[in-house]
Structure 1
Amino acid sequence: MTVFAAGAVCWRIVDGKVNVLVIHRTAHRDVSLPKGKVDPGETLPVTAVREVAEETGLAVTLGVPLGVTNYTMPNGREKVVHYWAAEVTDDAVNRSTFLPNGEVAALEWLSVKRALAALTYERDAEIVERFRMLVEAGVTRTFGIIALRHAKATPPYQFDGPDSQRPLTERGRLEARAIVPALRAFGPQKIVTSTALRCRQTVEPVSKALHLTPKATDAVSQDAWESGEGAVRDLVGKRVRKRVTAIVCSHGPVLPDIVREVALATGTAPIATASRAGDLPVAGFSVLHLSVDLPGSGIVAVETHEPR
């Protein structure tokens, strides 16, 4: 049986240069990246954030996905580890609760070059090498536009009223609560939603968890989109200019347009992953990672997550 795990390349600016964090593990006597196994019912992004906190005492949010490693453990089981970049703020460093323990003996901030040399395992070095490519491209600092499809709603044939007033089903309400930890892992600072009730109900749990007041707008409502009165381009342009991670909750037919407008606004060359990012199941979301410093350089990475 395959073991799934997740972790991060934690990074910060030290004396004007990008440094990454390596951990010296106590029992294994090696130098590695913070990571750990997925807990039952947990999603990979949630695992990555939790494991970084548990092993280093650092509270982080996730940036660009850096890929996957897989290897066979001594017990013969395969292990698959997903990694993200994660910027560490000065506040997070100051609030770190790390003390040497039975799992991690020490933390060390190193230049990317020194980290590549220090890591015990080639598979970890390959992940840091991918991060180095972002550094060299000048797109280390990123923000995300999170395109979220509303959770399961009451079908039209079971609802006697305007389509925009169809509520979530019990399953939909459960989905809306279930996706909160995964959304939080990416550190959204703004929530924008269609005015449709099913969208507003979908973002309600994450809004409460993040203490954010969602902005409801017809710009991304299905009714406005179908009548040609939507304003997807204007909304996306504003979100790109703001350069902060935002959730945009909308509808199945509208989401491909949202993704397309993000690509157009950032000069992204056509890529298959971007075109598929708008094709989401109910309560699914795609994170479109964009450069803070070079937002016109295109979508840096795309990842899609479905409710568990």
Structure 2
Amino acid sequence: MTAPPVLAAGALVWRAVGDEVLVLLVERTQHRDFSLPKGKLDPGETLPECAVREIEEETGLRIALGAPLPQSEYRLSDGRDKVVYYWQAKADEAVVAASAFSPNDEIHALEWLPLAAAKQRCTYEHDVAIIARFEERLAAGHAETFPLIALRHAKAANPFDWQGSDASRTLTERGERQARRVAPGIAAFGPERIVTSDAVRCVQTVEPLGRLLGIEPKATPLISQESPEDPREALERRIGKAVRKRRGTVLCSHAPIIPEIVTAVVHAADAAETDSTHRASMLHTAEFTVLHVSAGEMPALVALETHGSHEK
């Protein structure tokens, strides 16, 4: 029986110094090789949560993830496969200044290098390929992005057993666990605003996220499946404003509304609806889709990805 692959996550961390873009490489203490920072997934973690944790542990930098980059796959010495997921992540000067890195048993040194020099310094070709893909994004004006996140509420009480109104249904114990577990994965993308349906199950779903980010969620009936008006119009207005302001936003709602959220983002980014955007709108409880929109002069849908809480 084939062993499951070892999962890991990391990021291509970059910064702008004058007119030059620098990429962060780490030199590992034991192997003395140069690579992009990454680390193995802990039990119960989402991949974005793992990436942010590992970057901070290895480099001291507290970053928010941008758009995903290609994953790398290779065989370990023990015969198992390893799959590493990467994102691009900008580190501004305040983040760099706040870093408390010092050489340790795992990481010997950090190096900020221009793109060409970074590709030459990398020990492994899969890291070179990831830097090259980021270079393409940079040339297209898509190095900086902001997230628009569609979140389906966590598991709620059975509607057939519930005595009150549908909007008053609360999360089950499983749903509460889902809400707690999914929060760090969403927070990894650094959203600035949380908007939720005013249904109790949606409000409860974003409470752990709000506490984690220090953001007070805004509840509104206008993105509820029981909205007093057509939710599509409300979503077009709200998401259009988020795109104009380049503001990362979480929108938590119900299964029938999630496709409308994704469609509104696609329209606001002047993109086309595809099989990928359709699949990204078909979420299970406590799953979320991140739509990465370029923060450049013209909005564009750079990438999308879907994650969940892993809570059964």
Query: Is the TM value for this pair above 0.5?
Result: yes
Contact kept? 2:263, 2:273, Cα under 8 Å:
no
Q: Distance in 1 between matches of 2:281 and 2:152?
A: 9
Match of 1:270 in 2: 273
Select the residue among 49, 53, 68 that pairs with 1:50.
53
Select the residue among 17, 20, 35 that pairs with 1:17.
20
Select the residue among 116, 120, 127 that pairs with 1:117.
120
Taking a change above 3 Å as real, the CA distance of residues 229 and 108 of structure 1, as seen in their structure-2 partners, is: closer
Q: Distance in 2 between matches of 1:289 and 1:136?
A: 17
Match of 1:103 in 2: 106
Deviations 1:23-52 (Å, cap 9, x if unpaired)? 112211211110111112222111111111
Select the residue among 136, 140, 152 that pairs with 2:143.
140
Match of 1:157 in 2: 160
Deviations 1:26-82 (Å, cap 9, x if unpaired)? 211211110111112222111111111111111111111002111111222211110
Match of 2:204 in 1: 201
Deviation of 1:185 after TM superposition, in Å, equals 0.8
SS at match of 1:193: strand
Deviation of 1:272 after TM superposition, in Å, equals 2.0
Contact kept? 2:184, 2:212, Cα under 8 Å:
no
Q: Distance in 2 between matches of 1:219 and 1:20?
A: 43
Match of 1:245 in 2: 248
Quote the RMSD (CA, aligned, Å): 1.4
Taking a change above 3 Å as real, the CA distance of residues 229 and 19 of structure 1, as seen in their structure-2 partners, is: closer
SS at match of 2:226: helix
Gaps of 5+ in 1: none
Match of 1:260 in 2: 263
State TM-score, norm by structure 2: 0.95
Contact kept? 1:12, 1:87, Cα under 8 Å:
yes
State TM-score, norm by structure 1: 0.96
Deviation of 1:161 after TM superposition, in Å, equals 2.1
Q: Distance in 1 between matches of 2:130 and 2:65?
A: 15
Deviation of 1:16 after TM superposition, in Å, equals 2.0
Select the residue among 156, 167, 177 that pairs with 1:174.
177
Deviations 1:196-216 (Å, cap 9, x if unpaired)? 111111111111111111111
Q: Distance in 2 between matches of 1:303 and 1:86?
A: 15
Deviations 1:195-237 (Å, cap 9, x if unpaired)? 1111111111111111111111122110117x63652211211
The size of the alignment, in residue pairs, is 306
SS at match of 2:25: strand
Contact kept? 1:139, 1:294, Cα under 8 Å:
no
**Matched ranges for 1:231-242 at <5 A:** 231-242=234-245
Deviation of 1:97 after TM superposition, in Å, equals 1.0
Match of 1:80 in 2: 83
Match of 2:309 in 1: 307
Deviations 1:98-134 (Å, cap 9, x if unpaired)? 1112222211111111111111110111111111111
Q: Distance in 2 between matches of 1:41 and 1:257?
A: 30
Match of 1:70 in 2: 73
Deviation of 1:295 after TM superposition, in Å, equals 4.5
Contact kept? 1:21, 1:109, Cα under 8 Å:
yes
1:221 equivalenced with 2:224 (yes/no): yes
Between the aligned residues of both structures, percent identity stands at 48
Q: Distance in 2 between matches of 1:177 and 1:145?
A: 20
Q: Distance in 1 between matches of 2:115 and 2:175?
A: 44
Q: Distance in 1 between matches of 2:80 and 2:216?
A: 45
Q: Distance in 2 between matches of 1:168 and 1:41?
A: 20
Contact kept? 1:240, 1:295, Cα under 8 Å:
no
**Structure 1 runs of 4+ off > 3 angstroms?**
227-230
